[in-house]
């Protein structure tokens, strides 16, 4: 993720060899397991080290404390999510708007729900972190990928494309977060996902007709 962490949350070093990368991957997976088992408040670097099968000294070579570990864990999660969604958007260039929206909603929803318990754990762990830089970096990548996809659509009215993409992403991200926080059953989640697709397609159709720009002008007048 293209974001500079706060100084107190910065990792001590970045793995550059395959063996070091494997060690950090094991630490990350162990951190997830401890989060799921014990929760954020009971997670410690000692417990994570034990779970990962590494010494506490090895842990401290990379992460000086719990908050730095959690920051790096959230950074990796958002980086992989951004890469996945960038691929979804690239593969839909030139397609119809309904297809683009369905791919965007489904792609994000599936990425968040594949390991839903992990997503919930990371939401919880991020509450204690100064992760504004991470969120902003992720948002920039999503804005760029979504904007490039929409620019490739057969959409004659492009005057408000920046507003359109931010509105779309806000609706999608906010809905998924709300579904998680309310812990809705799977059947209801599926129904909401379909409604979000319908709503976003209808919104894009309205924006494409230029009605959105007219409404905005009327409000400012």
| Low-confidence winner among 4-13, 58-67, 146-155, 201-210 (lowest mean pLDDT) | 4-13
**CA–CA dist 80, 201 (Å, integer):** 26
pLDDT at position 183: 85
pLDDT at position 213: 44
Per the model's pLDDT, the better-predicted residue between 98 and 18 turns out to be 98
For the chain, percent of residues with pLDDT exceeding 90: 57
Domain boundaries along the sequence of the chain: 7-220
136-140 long-range Cβ contacts below 8 angstroms, 24+ apart = 136/3, 137/1, 137/2, 137/3, 137/78, 138/1, 138/78, 138/81, 138/82, 139/169, 140/2
Specify the CATH architecture of the domain 7-220: Orthogonal Bundle (1.10)
Question: What angle separates helix 18-38 from helix 66-91, to the nearest 10 degrees?
Answer: 100
Confidence band, pLDDT 50/70/90 cuts, at residue 20? confident
* Average pLDDT for the chain: 86
> pLDDT tens, 31-47?
999 999 999 999 999 99
DSSP states along 54-75: --HHHHHHH-SSHHHHHHHHHH
Confidence band, pLDDT 50/70/90 cuts, at residue 217? very low
Q: CB of 171 within 8 A of CB of 199?
A: yes
Structure token digits, residue 21: 């990368």
Confidence band, pLDDT 50/70/90 cuts, at residue 157? low
pLDDT at position 219: 43
Confidence band, pLDDT 50/70/90 cuts, at residue 21? confident
Q: Is this prediction's pTM over 0.85?
A: no
């Amino acid at each position: 993720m293209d974001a500079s962490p706060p100084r107190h949350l910065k990792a001590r070093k970045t793995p550059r060899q395959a063996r070091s990368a494997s060690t950090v991957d094991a630490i990350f997976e162990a951190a997830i397991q401890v989060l799921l088992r014990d929760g954020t408040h009971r997670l410690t670097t000692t417990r994570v080290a034990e779970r990962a099968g590494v010494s506490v000294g090895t842990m401290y070579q990379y992460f000086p404390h719990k908050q730095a570990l959690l920051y790096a864990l959230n950074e990796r999660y958002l980086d992989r999510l951004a890469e996945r969604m960038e691929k979804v958007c690239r593969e839909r260039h030139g397609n119809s708007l309904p297809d683009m929206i369905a791919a965007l909603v489904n792609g994000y929803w599936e990425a968040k729900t594949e390991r839903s318990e992990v997503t919930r754990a990371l939401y919880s762990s991020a509450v204690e972190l100064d992760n504004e830089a991470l969120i902003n970096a992720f948002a920039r990548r999503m804005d760029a990928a979504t904007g490039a996809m929409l620019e490739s659509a057969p959409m004659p009215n492009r005057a408000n494309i920046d507003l359109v993409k931010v509105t779309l992403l806000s609706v999608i991200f906010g809905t998924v977060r709300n579904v998680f926080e309310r812990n809705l059953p799977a059947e209801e989640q599926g129904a909401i996902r379909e409604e979000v697709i319908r709503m976003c397609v209808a919104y894009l159709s309205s924006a494409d007709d230029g009605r959105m720009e007219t409404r905005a002008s009327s409000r400012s007048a």
